[in-house]
Amino acid sequence: MEAEGLKNAFLGVWRGYQQAPLDRSRLRQIGSPVYLPVGEGSAPRMRAQAECLASCFPNARVETYEGASHFDLPFVGAKRLAEGLNRMWKESSGR
């Protein structure tokens, strides 16, 4: 597939994803912990989206990474991400 065709296919899927209704009742059935890291330097809408998504799960946590944007999170926050996930898993398992 040529690059332009691939780009258009991706954009079509992405638009469909964005327009799909969010079934909050199904998300509330997920009992596993959900961890949503947000970079402090990300656009304010990113934090708002994370908070909105977190409100759909019974056991969700939004954590802000100071000095990072959403592009940086996997690189600058790897250790903190691991610590946050471990902490959340321990809390949810009652340890």
Residue range 3-31: mean pLDDT, rounded:
75
pTM comes to 0.68
Tell me if 76 sits within 8 A of 68, measured CB to CB. yes
Per-residue confidence (pLDDT) for residue 14, from 0 to 100: 65
**Cβ-based burial of 80 (10 A; exposed 0-12, middle 13-18, buried ≥19):** middle
Per-residue confidence (pLDDT) for residue 62, from 0 to 100: 93
Q: State the amino acid at position 30 in one-letter form.
A: I
